[in-house]
Amino acid sequence: MPEFDYWHWLAFGVALMVLEILAPSTFFLWMGLAAMAVGGLLWLMPGMGWEMQVILFAVLTVIAIGLGRRYVKRHPIETDRPTLNVRGAQSLGRILTLDQPIVNGVGRARMDDTIWKVLGPDLPAGTRIEVIGVEGISLRVKPLGQDHGASPGGDNPPGRHDHDDGGPDGGGDGGGD
């Protein structure tokens, strides 16, 4: 029969914490805390059988994970850039110029340094469009000035910058002054 001493549990807890550092998910964090708690209890009550230790570890792990998830849900991390890793959400409201016409509902437009597949009504190349949605890896667009509160004159919303054309006419020639 296996014999577990308190230091086995403490070492196991430290190993789980190191694993958490290598593969961050908070799952190993809670298991590591549970293992350390079992080690602490075993230090206080050295006669505990290994079966009870394993059961205690399992119960404490479930409790720690439950409490951890509850805490994280109630205290979300606040950020000034909530769409940082959601590139599609960052593109909503952007004003672009079609590089290729939209034919049969599909075309292409450049946004920053990437050519995106765009979905929308058939339009000729050079048309100014607004991104109104994201569908997988494609952008849903509409011609500039159509509902959705687009501003006349084709200006970008505050904080958005158009990098796809070379001048105010939206010609897309890349020239500029």
Contact criterion met (CB below 8 Å) for 96 and 109: yes
Per-residue pLDDT tens listing for the chain (177 residues): 578 899 999 999 999 999 999 987 888 999 999 999 999 999 999 889 999 999 999 999 999 999 988 988 898 777 777 666 666 677 888 999 999 999 999 999 998 888 999 999 999 999 999 999 988 889 999 998 776 444 444 444 444 444 444 434 444 444 443
CB under 8 Å to 96, separation ≥6 — which residues? 109, 110, 111, 118, 128, 129, 130, 131, 141, 162, 164
Give the containing element (helix H, strand E) for 159: none
Residue where a domain terminates, one of 74, 106, 121: 74
Measured over the CA atoms of residue 68, residue 73, residue 78 and residue 79, the dihedral's sign is positive
**69 within some domain:** yes
**155 within some domain:** no
Residue where a domain terminates, one of 74, 105, 133: 74
**55 within some domain:** yes
Are 10 and 67 in a shared domain? yes
Residue 89 confidence (pLDDT)? 72
**176 within some domain:** no
Are 25 and 60 in a shared domain? yes
**164 within some domain:** no
| CATH of residue 112 | 2.40.50.140
Residue 21 confidence (pLDDT)? 92
Residue 170 confidence (pLDDT)? 41
- Give the total number of structural domains in the chain: 2
> What is the domain range of residue 51?
6-74
**61 within some domain:** yes
Residue where a domain terminates, one of 16, 46, 74: 74
pTM for the model: 0.48
Contact criterion met (CB below 8 Å) for 164 and 97: yes
Residue 162 confidence (pLDDT)? 47
Are 62 and 103 in a shared domain? no
